[in-house]
Amino acid sequence: MSYKKDYERGILRKEGLEAYKDVFDDSTLRGIFRLISQGVISKIVGPIKIGKEANVFVAESSQGKKAVKIYRVSSNFKKMYDYMAPDPRFTGMKRNKMSIIYSWARKEYRNLLKAREAGVSVPTPYAVYKNILVMEFIGDAEAAPQLNKTEFHHPEEFYEMLISNIKKLVQDAKLVHGDLSAFNVLDNDGRPVIIDLSHAVTLAYPNVATLLKRDMNAICTFFNKRGVKLDSEEEWKKNFAKK
């Protein structure tokens, strides 16, 4: 029986998943089945987020809900390569499409592990295989919303919690997110959870200070629109500039 026939017979299906058949190419399906056979997940039940670079789905498992992030094999792997090439952790990386996409998935897995070990509020990573990353599901019955979809009652408190986590990421995990915005921070019942760490780089990365300043500017701009009076340059100096 072919993998696509398995899909059609319901191993990966749930209401609405038929619209995302293009995500599950044969290689990805084989990876999903491997994770199922290993007991990491039992089945995929629905989409959380559909993007150009990756798609995130809810999966069931014996431990409860999990999130499954599948990087598209049609992603801009050249852009990924250019981003990873200066990273000391990826010296000698092969310059072919699938190798780069698989390395990108492993990069996010490693970054999540480092962040969790440092006490940063990020999803717990459980497994990575090929272009598939399995991690903690953030939320209850529904997935926790992104900040851009949140109505804040106390935006100042939320910002302070978020900046505390960004400081842990930089000072303890020795990572800079590099692509931080309201789209990759979740509001988990009033507490921030930072997601999408595939872009995160070590402090040895070229121009890392510029990336951190860009992150701070994006976050300060967002919270300024929510009534919190912030100056991104002052926040940078107060929290990250070397004394």
pLDDT in tens, 156-193: 999 999 999 999 999 999 999 999 999 999 999 999 99
168 lies in a domain? yes
Q: Model confidence over 92-146: pLDDT tens digits?
A: 677 778 888 888 999 999 999 999 999 999 999 999 999 999 999 999 989 999 9
Tell me which of 16 and 150 has the higher pLDDT: 150
Which is the catalytic residue, given 22, 187, 196, 231?
A: 196
82 is catalytic: no
CA gap 172, 178 in Å, rounded:
16
Query: Are residues 152 and 233 both part of a single domain?
Result: yes
3-state secondary structure of 71: strand
What average pLDDT score do residues 19-48 get? 82
Which is the catalytic residue, given 179, 189, 215, 231?
A: 179
Strands (E), the chain: 43-50, 54-60, 66-71, 125-129, 132-136, 175-176, 185-188, 191-194, 201-202
Query: Are residues 131 and 165 both part of a single domain?
Result: no
CA gap 191, 185 in Å, rounded:
10
Query: Are residues 112 and 160 both part of a single domain?
Result: no
- Which of 136, 170, 192 corresponds to the end of one domain? 136
With a CB cutoff of 8 Å and minimum separation 6, the contacts of 194 are 115, 120, 121, 122, 162, 165, 166, 169, 177, 180, 184, 185, 186
Query: Are residues 22 and 69 both part of a single domain?
Result: yes
CA gap 151, 155 in Å, rounded:
9
179 is catalytic: yes
201 lies in a domain? yes
Question: What is the pTM for the complete model shown?
Answer: 0.89
